[in-house]
């Protein structure tokens, strides 16, 4: 089996629980959504072609980089053919910590072979109104998040903030998993998010600014 990898590189995790730590990124081509604010729109087309890599090729690249953190991203990793087999293969190396970035529309809870592996966690987006993709959310995803998982809200407006608060409360996310508010800084000032968090006493919610967009220019690829 060969996987369609459109980017692979060593950088730092720009967000999430290992933000600031070095990580190997494996980006797959093809996504089933097209968010209005997507910052990797080049990875959306299912026809995009990258390198055809085996699971051994991917594992060897990860080990050569020497980083324990691995981020599988896209596109949408969980729509890739036989992705569960790849993740299971990588996770057999208990020195690796694998984060799977998924867009909230794919039922990650059905990946039973990898769901409970201690070194595999899911970073699940909830697509808010500004994405224009909210109707695609599989709400069971947010019921079944675990403490090692992450729920991420990309915030582009005050309407997004209000909707995120509803989802936090309805699915009791703070305390269930890690929760991050990630601002689109071109459309909303992070100060607005902080003030909203203070006003509503949103404990166990973290605001995160994407480090890679501060260290490099926002349109720089493979970082």
Instruction: Inform me whether the pLDDT recorded for 223 exceeds 80.
Output: no
SS3 202: coil
Q: Give the count of domains, the chain.
A: 1
Which domain CATH number covers 149?
3.20.20.70
Instruction: Inform me whether the pLDDT recorded for 210 exceeds 90.
Output: no
**High-pLDDT (> 70) share of the chain, %:** 100
Q: What region does 75 belong to: left with phi over 0, alpha with psi -120 to 50, or beta?
A: left
Residue 58 falls within a domain, yes or no? Answer: yes
Reported as a pLDDT band with limits 50, 70 and 90, residue 2 is very high
Residue 222 falls within a domain, yes or no? Answer: no
Residue 203 falls within a domain, yes or no? Answer: yes
- Domain span at residue 98 reads 3-32+41-215
Q: 53 - beta bridge partners? A: 3
What's the first-to-final CA gap in the chain, in angstroms? 27
pLDDT at residue number 219 = 79
Mean pLDDT (the chain) is: 95
Instruction: Inform me whether the pLDDT recorded for 71 exceeds 90.
Output: yes
**pLDDT tens-digit map of 146-185:** 999 999 999 999 999 999 999 999 999 999 999 999 999 9
Answer whether 11's CB lies under 8 Å from 94's CB: no
Residue 189 falls within a domain, yes or no? Answer: yes
Residue 71 falls within a domain, yes or no? Answer: yes
Instruction: Inform me whether the pLDDT recorded for 47 exceeds 80.
Output: yes
Residue 220 falls within a domain, yes or no? Answer: no
**123 burial via Cβ count (<10 Å: 0-12, 13-18, 19+):** buried
Residue 174 falls within a domain, yes or no? Answer: yes
Non-local (6+) Cβ contacts of 219 within 8 A are none
Answer whether 86's CB lies under 8 Å from 55's CB: yes
User: Quick check: pTM over 0.75?
Assistant: yes
Instruction: Inform me whether the pLDDT recorded for 116 exceeds 80.
Output: yes
């Amino acid at each position: 089996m060969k996987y369609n990898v459109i980017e692979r590189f060593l950088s730092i995790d720009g967000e999430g629980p290992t933000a600031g730590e070095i990580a190997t990124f494996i980006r797959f081509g093809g996504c089933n959504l097209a968010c209005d604010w997507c910052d990797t729109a080049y990875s959306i087309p299912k026809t995009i072609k990258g390198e055809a890599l085996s699971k051994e090729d991917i594992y060897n690249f990860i080990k050569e980089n020497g980083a324990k953190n691995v981020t599988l991203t896209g596109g949408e990793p969980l729509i890739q053919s036989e992705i569960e087999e790849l993740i299971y293969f990588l996770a057999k190396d208990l020195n690796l910590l694998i984060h799977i970035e998924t867009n909230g529309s794919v039922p990650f809870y059905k990946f039973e072979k990898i769901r409970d592996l201690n070194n595999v966690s899911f970073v699940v987006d909830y697509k808010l109104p500004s994405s224009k993709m909210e109707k695609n959310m599989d709400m069971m995803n947010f019921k079944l998040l675990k403490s090692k998982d992450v729920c991420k809200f990309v915030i582009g407006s005050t309407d997004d903030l209000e909707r995120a608060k509803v989802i936090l409360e309805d699915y009791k996310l703070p305390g269930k998993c890690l929760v991050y508010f990630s601002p689109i800084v071109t459309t909303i000032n992070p100060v607005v998010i902080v003030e909203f968090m203070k006003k509503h006493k949103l404990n166990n919610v973290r605001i995160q600014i994407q480090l890679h967009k501060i260290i490099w220019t926002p349109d720089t690829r493979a970082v």
